[in-house]
Amino acid sequence: MCFKNRRMFLVRIGGLFLAFLSAIGNVTMFSVNSIVSGIMPPYYLKQIVQQAIQIGYFSLPVVGMTALFAGMAMTLQCFSGFSELTAENAIPSVVMVAMTRELGPVLTALMVAGRLGASMTAEIGTMRVTEQIDALTTLSVNSYKYLVFPRILTGTILLPFLVFIDDVIGILGGYIVGVYYLNFNAANYIHNTFASMKMWDVGSGLIKGAVFGFWICLMGCYHGYFSKGGAEGVGRSTTNSVVSSSIMILLLDCVLTFVLF
Amino acid sequence: MDYVIRVENLKKSFGSRIVLDGISLNVKRRESYVVIGGSGSGKSVLVKCILGLVKPKSGTVEINGQNMMHLPQRAIFQTLLKCGVLFQGGALFDSLNVIENISFGLIYGYGKSIKEAYRIAMEKLELVDLGVEIAKAYPAELSGGMKKRVALARAIATDPDVIFFDEPTTGLDPVTSGTINELIVKCTKEIGISALSITHDIKSLKRISDRIGFLYKGKIIWEGTNSELTTTDNPYIRQFVDGTPNGPFSH
Ligand SMILES: Nc1ncnc2c1ncn2[C@@H]1O[C@H](COP(=O)(O)OP(=O)(O)OP(=O)(O)O)[C@@H](O)[C@H]1O
Ligand SMILES: [Mg+2]
């Protein structure tokens, strides 16, 4: 009895492991297909520009807002801790480092995953279940090239820009709280922010941004592309897309931090 | 014999449910072949298998002499360039307006200029009896019948050699149905396009078909011409054509 249970357990684990491997294989094939078909001419510039506007421009309000509040909260938190050690002068540079290395890329990526990853999956998934992707094929258009590649390309290129804007606004939020609420001297605050700043703080965050952008758009497209089962199926894919993006963002963040520092 | 579509022993199942169980059919050049059969008998799946949109389990499919099973991607797109497809649900791109939908294949498939493509698209819009005023409308703003006709216009926009029509007249009023039937007849008889269509509409069937195949339980169990359809004493055909509730279908 015990033996049998243990065997069943191993079978389950094995099954899960195999499913995991095949998912990795599928995602890899999917991204290779998209990139290979995308880099061959002709180029669908209109598609790329449309996606660039979606990703770059329409994400700004959400990204900016979260950055502002995160920067403000961060400064307040630091103050309550640092003032006990009379280390208030370290606050500007701590906020700067935290924003550029961690909060900027991760917050931006999470917001974009919720906003864009979800809408990509819903849009492509709907196209799948209403046979629009089949229609693309019968009109001799490669759906990887037309739908997937423009999204992945613009996501990878534009997310670092969003991260940079996020950094700037986050630090600004810290400045506002620091100077107007906690009564820091403005010139001192600015000086302390940039005194210990290294290019690599910002640069590493931008690299993270590019990796996250690629992953969010890949997941958004992948889950949409293989949607099935009508509106309910598209809903399920959308959830999967956001969840798998978000988890991987945090996991990748951890891995990248190890690699980059 | 010059066959445009050749299907041999095509099999397809979803999980344990067998949908196509060894289909063989041939469509000759300039012929209009119509597949009929009960709802859920696998007609749409058959067309999708032929076009390579659904991967069959086994069997051979040739379009214009090209074996669709063993072609590289690029060659499949080349073959599909010569095919016009009307999906049962229309499958219009809902992010594009009517004129962009119709001209899509001309622009992306054939690389025509936008101006030229729009001019052709306008002509096709007229062919399916729709006014130019809906050219800028989006699919969501159209009625079901209008969508179907726009989808039909998109299918014939590139002047294909072979057309696949999945229920072209379903959801249309009798007058528009008649117009569409005439359009299909014009395509096949005058222009010489070969057609593989699916229909439930007996009136349309009699107007547009040269040859008919009856799909039942995954096989083509009867094949014949229009006149044979009216004279046959095959009980399945009789019940299907007459639409009587009692017969072999009911069991
Ligand atoms: N993607 C799919 N996954 C699972 N089963 C499917 C799928 N597509 C079709 N089927 C099944 O295959 C069978 C045939 O479907 P198909 O759409 O070809 O019917 P049909 O003959 O076109 O019917 P109708 O006249 O109502 O359009 C149905 O029982 C359907 O449930
Ligand atoms: Mg059907």
CATH number at B29 reads 3.40.50.300
Note the pLDDT tens digit of each residue in A248-257: 999 999 999 9
Q: How far is C-alpha B236 from the geometric centre of its chain's CA atoms?
A: 23
List the domain range (segments joined by +) for residue B58: 1-72+191-251
Partners of B86 in beta bridges: B165
pLDDT-derived band at B251, boundaries 50, 70, 90: low
Provide the mean pLDDT of chain B: 90
Query: A134 and B53: CB-CB below 8 Å?
Result: yes
Give the pLDDT confidence score for residue A2 in this predicted structure. 60
Q: Is the pLDDT of residue B135 over 60?
A: yes
* CA A122 to centroid of ligand 1, rounded, Å: 23
- If one counts every other C-beta atom within 10 angstroms of the C-beta of residue B137, the result is 15
Adjacency order of strands within the sheet including B194-198: B83-86, B162-166, B194-198, B32-37, B211-216, B219-225
B72 lines ligand 1 (CB under 6 A): no
User: Who's near B14: CB < 8 A, 6+ residues apart?
Assistant: none
Partners of B5 in beta bridges: B27, B63
Structure tokens at B193: 């396009």
Partners of B12 in beta bridges: B20
* DSSP reduced 3-state for B4: strand
What whole-number distance in Å separates Cα of residue B36 and Cα of residue B34? 6
Residue A44: list chain B partners with CB under 8 A.
108
Provide the domain count of chain B. 1
HSE-up of residue B44 (Cα within 13 Å, Cβ side): 14
Pocket test for ligand 1, best of B20, B23, B41 (most atoms within 8 A of CB): B41
Query: Number of CB pairs < 8 Å for A and B?
Result: 56
Among the partner-chain residues A137, A140, A142, the one whose CB lies closest to the CB of B53 is: A137
B199 lines ligand 1 (CB under 6 A): no
Among the partner-chain residues A131, A139, A146, the one whose CB lies closest to the CB of B89 is: A131
Average pLDDT over residues B98-108: 94
Give the pLDDT confidence score for residue A133 in this predicted structure. 96
Shortest distance, CA B50 to any CA of chain A (angstroms):
11
B42 lines ligand 1 (CB under 6 A): yes
Query: Is the Cβ–Cβ distance between B247 and B235 less than 8 Å?
Result: yes
* pTM score of the predicted model: 0.90
Domain ranges of chain A: 46-260
Q: Considering only alpha carbons, which residue of chain A is nearest residue B162?
A: A138
* CA B46 to centroid of ligand 2, rounded, Å: 9
Q: Which residues surround ligand 2, an ion (CB under 5 A)?
A: B 44, 88
Any domain includes B48: yes
Considering only residues B64 and A214, tell me which one the structure prediction assigns the higher pLDDT: A214
* CA B34 to centroid of ligand 1, rounded, Å: 18
- ipTM of model: 0.91
Residues in chain A: 261
Give the pLDDT confidence score for residue A41 in this predicted structure. 84
What whole-number distance in Å separates Cα of residue A133 and Cα of residue B163? 18
Which stretches of chain A score pLDDT less than 50?
none
Of A65, A32, A19, give the one whose Cα is nearest residue A166. Answer: A65
Average pLDDT over residues B211-232: 89
* CA B167 to centroid of ligand 2, rounded, Å: 7
Average pLDDT over residues B197-222: 90
Among the partner-chain residues A126, A127, A138, the one whose CB lies closest to the CB of B83 is: A138
Query: B91 and A134: CB-CB below 8 Å?
Result: yes
Average pLDDT over residues B40-61: 92
Any domain includes B225: yes
- If one counts every other C-beta atom within 10 angstroms of the C-beta of residue B206, the result is 16
Q: Is the pLDDT of residue B7 over 70?
A: yes
B212 exposure class (CB count in 10 Å sphere: 0-12, 13-18, 19+):
buried
Q: What percent of chain A has pLDDT over 70?
A: 99
Atom of ligand 1 nearest to the CA of B200: 25
Give the pLDDT confidence score for residue A32 in this predicted structure. 95
Structure tokens at A142: 């490669």
Any domain includes B38: yes
Provide the mean pLDDT of chain A: 92
Give the pLDDT confidence score for residue A6 in this predicted structure. 81
Residue A140 near chain B (CB below 8 Å): yes
